[in-house]
Structure formats: C-alpha cells, structure tokens
A and B are shown apart, each in its own frame.
Chain A
Amino acid sequence: MNAAKAAKTESEDLHPSSKTMLDRVFSEHLVAQGPGAPPMLYVDLHLLHEVTSPQAFAGLRARGLRVRRPDRTVATMDHSIPTNRASFPTSTAGPVTLANLTLDDAARAQLRQLEDNCREFGVELHALGGEHQGIVHVIGPELGLTQPGMTIVCGDSHTSTHGAFGALAFGIGTSEVENVLATQCLLATKPRAMEIRVDGFLGRGVTAKDLVLAIIAEIGVGGGTGHVLEFTGDAVRSLDMEARMTVCNMSIEAGARAGMIAPDDVTFQYLARRERAPKGAAWDEALHRWRALPSDPEARFDRRVQIDASRIEPMITYGTHPGMGIGVTGVVPDASMLSSAEQAAHARALEYMGLRPGERLLGKKIDVVFIGSCTNSRIADLRAAARVLDGRRVAAGVRTLIVPGSMAVKRQAEAEGLDRIFEDAGAEWRNPGCSMCIAMNGDQLRPGEWSVSTSNRNFEGRQGKGGRTFLASPLTAAAAAVTGCITDVRGLL
C-alpha cells in the first residue's frame, strides 16, 4: 500500500482523477472483483477462427454449456484455408464448399469442425465463399464490428489490431476462448500503460509498418510485456485507420498485451459507412461516448517512450524476431555492443538468416515476396504495392504472392483494377486468408529461400521450415519484387 502510494507520480497527485484510455475501457467493463481473484472483465466482441476454437467448443459440449452471447460472437475461416485460386472450384461449379475445395484432410476436418460448431451453437460464420470471409482482424473493422471503447478478444495474438479504434483488444488462449464463449467474461489483471509518443511526420516512402518496426527495434520484443501501448503524437494522428491498424497489429511483437490509439474524426469517418456500426440516434449516442474515451492530458503512464518519426527510414528486419530491424540502407549490426546471452542469440539469428555482421542488406537477392497478412493486406496496402508494380515487371525468378485480407478487399482491389496491375507485373493475385504469414495452408517458403514479407513475424520457419524472412512494408516488398533484391523503395517512387 505504502509502496503503491510512493510510486504515484507528481501528475497523478495533482490530477487524481486523470485517466488513461485503458483505465476508462477497463473500468467500464468490470463485472466483478472477487476477493483474491483478478478483475472479471466483460467482452463486447468475441472473434473466432478455425485453429484456436475447436477445443473450446469441445469443452462447452463436455460441460453441457451454450454460447452465452452468440450475438457478440463472430467466426471466420482464415488460417488453414487455401488462397491459390486453383484450389477453388471454377465459377460454373456452383458455390464454394469444403467438399469442392482442394484441401488436405486435416485442414478440411478443422474447417468442418468450425462449421459444425457455429451451426450447433448459433454463431455467425463467414465461411469460404461468403461475401465477408477474410482474415479475422481485417473483417472485424471493415464490417464495423470493431468499435471504440469495446473490449475485443480472439484466440489470436494479433487481436491487438482492433486497438486502432480505441478498443481494448487482445489475444487469448483456447481455455479463455472457452471461458468467453460460456460467460462472455474473462479474468484479466489490469495491464500497465505505456505511452509511445511519435512526434514529427513520416517521410516519403516511410509507412506505418516502418514506424512499428522502428518502435519494436527501439523497445525490444519483450519491451511491452505486461503493458498496453498507447500510440500518441502527430505522426500517429496523421495516419489513416488502416495504417493505425498496422501499428496496433504489431504491438504484440513488442510483447505488449494490446495497442491502442485514441479515436478521433478519422476513426468516426471510417466507421460511419460500416454495415454493423450504430445508425441514427444510436450513432449520435455512440459518438458522444467515443469522444470521451481519449486519455486525459495529465494521465499517468507507467512508462513513456518518445520516437521521432522524421528519423525513421524504410525498415527491414535482418534477424529471427521482429525486434531485429534496421533502416533499409543500414548494415547488419555487429554484436559487440550486446550482452553475452544476446551475442549468442544474435549469432544464431545471423547464421539462420545467412547474413554477416556489417553486411549491407541493399542488393541482397531474394526468392519470394509476400504481400498480405493481418498486418498489411488492406486496400491501402494493396494500392501501395500497385503504385510500385504499375508498369513494371516482377524480377525473373522471384515468386510474388499478393493476398488480400478479405473478400471485400479483393472486390475493391478488382474494382480499382489492382489485380490487373499485379498480374500484368507477373505477381500471383490470390484469394483472402492468412496464407504465407503462418504457412499452415501450403503457401510456404522452401528451405533456404529468402522472402521479403509484409507479415508480422520473422521467426525461424514461420513462413515454412528453413525459410528466411525479411519483414518490411508493402512498398518495400513491392520494390523487392521488381528488382529481385532488397531495395530502397524511395528510388522507385
């Protein structure tokens, strides 16, 4: 008690009622606080996919429980589905079903289980072939399901994406999926709050992806552990919603529970057109609530980090976790500044990646380009890629996969002719899904191949056993597709 009091900051003493956005959303959802137990938090929106839900539904069935709020539960198929169009039936073969897809038995069984579970428990499912099917963190926002001030969970660590709207959104394991299905609640110790203030503005050719890779490089892959990151500052304010989602998406790669960005007119404008957003008087009432969410100016954060956006250049990772990132014109760091444990990890990462300390990455030959994932598969990402690929050709020998995040993104891209730009350039235009980000569905690197990927993880084997991943923005990925090597996209814009 005394220690807690002593830890109070001066600003808190001066402004005892000052609250962070996290404080507000958390307290608003507090259902109960039993003695000796963590706070019990209400969940407004529960998103499901095929990989992390089957055992949770099995648990419900074993206990004879129902889904408490099917109306707050939405499922999609994204992780283990094919994205190559050859796996889908031709348009004359009737609607897409699990029976007429080319699919391995394990994936088919898992997807069928999701269909059966959703049918049995009355949960809305965006199945393959449906007009809203897509990556769970793409469809939530685009349908308007994701709203400011909500609590949102999903058995998926990139649930942090939805924090871009000022929601408290975080990934959970399957046991918690079961808890939330049954009770619409979970036990959640309140995380600490960390402000990441990004001053200044991003330069030409520098995107939200570069910003978040720079942030993770700065605070480290464990730097956000136990915290919710709130991104503030001019550079964040100036981002559109899709770019904000990219930033919040990768909060987990810094170890954070969630990322949040205060809602503003950019948020409200994005939501106003959405199918599932409130309408009429409910919209006005919601807007009133949403405008009250941002952190107070004097709010106390447990930690603050300040970043200068104007110093960030297009980023690329060189190692085997997302914190190993550098400016694209930089050189692979040498380990002399690191602790001995970190030196060993650094050496192992470079050995896996086939790189040497001091090596420049510009000009490094690559085999595959992957543009997609819940980080970078939205329409603005595809437009960025198209801007580089338009009128150019993918370099000989480079396989380029472009995977839209959802059916809606796919339709929009095709309406704008982006698919033609991609295919004319020699890239593969695919159906929506997680695809080569997680490489569960056969879209994968071969051992030893190097890829430039717009996804979120460069862990060993993440994109296929033995595959080597350079994480980058859609602009940088498209530039690599054109030149066949790691490239500073600013020379192509």
Chain B
Amino acid sequence: MATFTKLTSRYVVLDRNDVDTDQIIPARFLKVTTKEGLERHLFADWRWDEAGLPREGFPLDAEEARGAAILVAGDNFGCGSSREHAPWALLSFGFRAIVARSFADIFCANALKNGLVPVVVDAEMHAAILASRASEPRASLTVDLAAEEVTLEGATAQRFSVDPFARHCLLSGLDELGYLLSHEKEIAAHEAARRT
C-alpha cells in the first residue's frame, strides 16, 4: 500500500495547461501488462527527439531536475483518458507529488491511489513557485500531507486539500480494497434487497 507523509524536494516546472494523459504517456506505450518500467515513456513525445535523445529545453532532463520528486504544472493537469499508466509513469520516474492550479478528476483519483499526491495551489502561489524557480534553480517545495500544507522554501505555507479518505489511506497505510472487502455484509444486503 502506498504511503505518504511529508516530502521536501526540488521541483520541475512544466508550465503548461491541459497537459493530457496522451502527453504524459502516449497510447502506443500502453501495450503492457504490468505497472513497471514506464518511466522511459513519460512525456515521450515532448522529451525525446527523432533520434531518441533528450530535446533541448524540455525541463525533465535539465540538470537541476535531477532527483526532483515534485512536478509543477498549470491548469487541468491529467485531462483525457483514464489510463492509470499516467501516474505509474510519473511515479516510476521518481515524482511523488504534482503541484498544479487544477487537476482532471480521473487523474486525481488514480494518482492518490498510487501515492502520487495532487496539490492544488492558487494562481498567486503558482506564480511564486515559478518565479522562485527562475531566480533559484535549486529552490525546493515541501508537501506536508498530514498538515495539508505546501510550502515554498523561504515563503509562507499554503493550505491544500485532498480527498480526506485518500489522505487517511496514504497517512496510515490503509488499503482501500481491504476497506471495501470489509463491507461484504452491506454488499450482500444491497444485492439481496435489489435481487441483483
């Protein structure tokens, strides 16, 4: 079971809105039957050129991005398909939190189930994070899930919120399927009442 409490890390800025799941991992890489090994395909068409070399200027392979566990993006991150391969690819690359102005619903749910924390910040905080990165390439962010606070190094914290149950699962290591299975009696009662 994925867990998450608090993370301080440098961050990668992908200052784009509506980053869709086809960019996060193009569909041609979905012919797999496991969750592992998807990091090579993360942002594949933005990241690699025709020769398979890193494209200049794409932030994932910048020197200061090395080891960063937080990705910062714009509005509506993760729109498009329901593929859980998107959070799997982000996680296997090394990301543990995504900071954005908003998220698409299915991506947000998929991310939380895998311990990738979606952090919504307002426009002001978002601008501060980008500005800080411009002046200090090694600036860091702290994502504290227990306190539901995100802090830009040397600045004030901002509150964020995630689904309370998902948060509880990540903090305590509670297994969601285990929780569902523990309601066998209620499930059976529902089925009996509706003759389904």
Contact = CB atoms under 8 A, between A and B. Distances in A.
Interface string B177-191: 101110110110011
Interface string B86-108: 01000000000000001011100
Contact of A222 (B75, B84, B87, B196): B75
A137 to B, nearest CB: 13
A52 B84 contact: yes
Interface string A34-57: 101110101010000001101100
A457 B30 contact: no
A225 interface: yes
Interface in B54-108: 74-76, 79-84, 87, 102, 104-106
A184 B16 CA distance: 37
Contacts of A462: 22, 27
Contacts of B177: 59, 63, 178-179, 182-183
Contacts of B31: 51, 80, 104, 106-107, 109-110, 440
A29 B26 CA distance: 35
Nearest to B113: A175
Contacts of B79: 221-222, 255, 321
Contacts of A186: 180
B56 to A, nearest CB: 16
B165 A37 contact: yes
A7 interface: no
A51 B196 contact: no
Interface residues of B, number: 51
Given A171-B106, A178-B177, A185 B183 contact: yes
Interface string B135-174: 0000000000000000000000000000111001000000
Nearest to B111: A173
A173 B106 CA distance: 7
Contacts, number: 174
B80 A257 contact: no
A107 B23 CA distance: 21
A173 B165 contact: no
Nearest to A63: B177
Contact of B196 (A34, A44, A221, A226): A44
B114 A175 contact: yes
Contact of B109 (A176, A344, A348): A176
A461 B45 CA distance: 8
A345 B17 contact: yes
A342 interface: yes
A109 B32 CA distance: 8
Interface of B: 15-18, 20, 22-23, 26-28, 30-35, 45, 74-76, 79-84, 87, 102, 104-106, 109-110, 113-114, 163-165, 168, 176-177, 179-181, 183-184, 186-187, 190-191, 196
Given A110-B33, A183-B180, 20 more contacts: A29-B190, A31-B186, A51-B30, A80-B30, A104-B31, A110-B32, A155-B82, A173-B113, A175-B84, A186-B180, A225-B76, A225-B104, A255-B79, A257-B105, A321-B18, A345-B17, A345-B18, A348-B16, A440-B28, A457-B20
Interface of A: 29, 31-32, 34, 36-38, 40, 42, 44, 51-52, 54-55, 58-59, 63, 65, 68, 72, 79-80, 104, 106-107, 109-110, 113, 155-157, 159, 171-176, 178-179, 182-187, 189, 221-222, 225-226, 255, 257, 321, 341-342, 344-345, 348, 438-440, 457, 459-462, 465-466
